[in-house]
Amino acid sequence: MVPTPSLAAPDHAVEVQSLVKAYRGKRGDKLALDGVSLAIPRGSVFGLLGPNGAGKSTLINILAGLVVKTSGTVRVWGNDIDSRPRAAKAAIGVVPQELNIDPFFTPRELLDVQAGMYGVPKAERRTMEILEAVGLADKADSYARTLSGGMRRRLLVAKAMVHEPPVLVLDEPTAGVDIELRRQLWDYVRGLNARGATILLTTHYLEEAEELCDRIAIISEGKAVACDTTRNLLRRLDSKRLTVTLASLPAQLPEPLAAFAPMADAEGRLTFAYRPSAAPVGAILDAIAAAGLAVVDLSTEEADLEDIFLQLTARR
């Protein structure tokens, strides 16, 4: 169970300002994070994307209190991690990518141990309620080693929920799982968010981020190169493709249509790469109609998050 935020809840579940993490080495300091600033709205599903080594794990570990920052300000649920470290840690639950579960404990035992580590009194523990929420109530007394990979992932989510944190970090939650289970986990993440949790999601599956996240930040080489709504990010490319199948393809295109520089193939298809801001699709269709060409079929291809990701993380 994830608690519904109270009236006193902050507007931003997580705030990061000018965050720097430098690691010292023989050849000088290496910046894992270089002045990163992010604000994660309360109640959002926020995606954190970036190539390997970009700084995502460092940022998560700083939020969780596992890595000490070099400089900058970090607040979790309004609690500064320097001045109120215990309150900040109590406000966040981290679901790691690795399936680090003791195989000789049952889910009931694992959750009780985790609750004890967070100081949750026995009378206030909601072990069975949480296991019910993640669909593991019938496995409460089974050894963790007997659970499937998908069940173990859900058990990790349950462990992160024992102290009822308003912020949940899901680090690569669907890495290495099959497509069916990935879809199930997507539904579960949506359910957590609907019950009041703010979700910070890291993933290498761009389809996953596009499907789940209402806001996305992209980190590259320790810097936040983008932070916006998913919709606005997709609008940045201003690039689309229109493929038109004609009843017959003329030997030479009329000049108004040729001006759009379409690519033609042997199947009678014309593919137009265009910028909606400069050439609305209606102008292309009008040029086709003016040329007296009969359209059999047409399709459009939108820019996707992969295009944005590759554009923003390309090494300069």
Positions in the chain short of pLDDT 50:
1-7, 316
Place of tokens 């998913």: 230
Burial class (CB in 10 A: 0-12, 13-18, 19+), 37: middle
Q: Does residue 159 lie in a domain region?
A: yes
Same domain assignment for residues 91 and 224: yes
Same domain assignment for residues 78 and 176: yes
Q: What angle do CA 118, 55, 102 make, to 5 degrees?
A: 40
Burial class (CB in 10 A: 0-12, 13-18, 19+), 92: buried
In sequence order, what are the beta bridge partners of 229? 215
Same domain assignment for residues 123 and 202: yes
Q: Does residue 121 lie in a domain region?
A: yes
Q: Does residue 56 lie in a domain region?
A: yes
Question: 299 to each of 211, 235, 269, 272, how far by Cα in Å?
Answer: 21, 19, 11, 11
Domain boundary among 235, 267, 300: 235
pLDDT for the residue numbered 282: 87
Q: How far apart are CA 148 and CA 143, in angstroms?
A: 11
H or E element that contains 19: strand 12-23
CATH number for the domain that contains residue 146: 3.40.50.300
CATH number for the domain that contains residue 277: 3.30.70
H or E element that contains 279: none
Q: Does residue 2 lie in a domain region?
A: no
pLDDT for the residue numbered 266: 79
Q: Does residue 144 lie in a domain region?
A: yes
Same domain assignment for residues 129 and 61: yes
**126: nearest Cα among 252, 2, 260, 306:** 2
User: Is 1 within 8 Å of 130 (Cβ atoms)?
Assistant: yes
Q: How far apart are CA 56 and CA 170, in angstroms?
A: 12
**99: nearest Cα among 52, 159, 139:** 159
Q: How far apart are CA 54 and CA 219, in angstroms?
A: 6
Cite the beta strand spans of 102-206 per DSSP E. 167-171, 198-202
Domain boundary among 235, 261, 295: 235
In sequence order, what are the beta bridge partners of 20? 34, 71
pLDDT in tens, 155-166: 998 999 899 899
Joined tokens for residue 272:
């137009």
Domain count of the chain? 2
User: Is 263 within 8 Å of 271 (Cβ atoms)?
Assistant: yes
Joined tokens for residue 214:
């209402």
Domain boundary among 235, 270, 294: 235
pLDDT for the residue numbered 303: 63
HSE, CB side, 13 Å, CA atoms: give it for residue 219: 27
Which domain, by its residues, includes 119?
A: 12-235
pLDDT in tens, 279-290: 778 888 999 999
Q: How far apart are CA 200 and CA 170, in angstroms?
A: 6
pTM of the entire structure? 0.75
Helices (H) and strands (E) in the chain, counts: 11, 14
Residue 262 is classified by DSSP as -
φ/ψ (deg, to 5) at 102: -65, 120
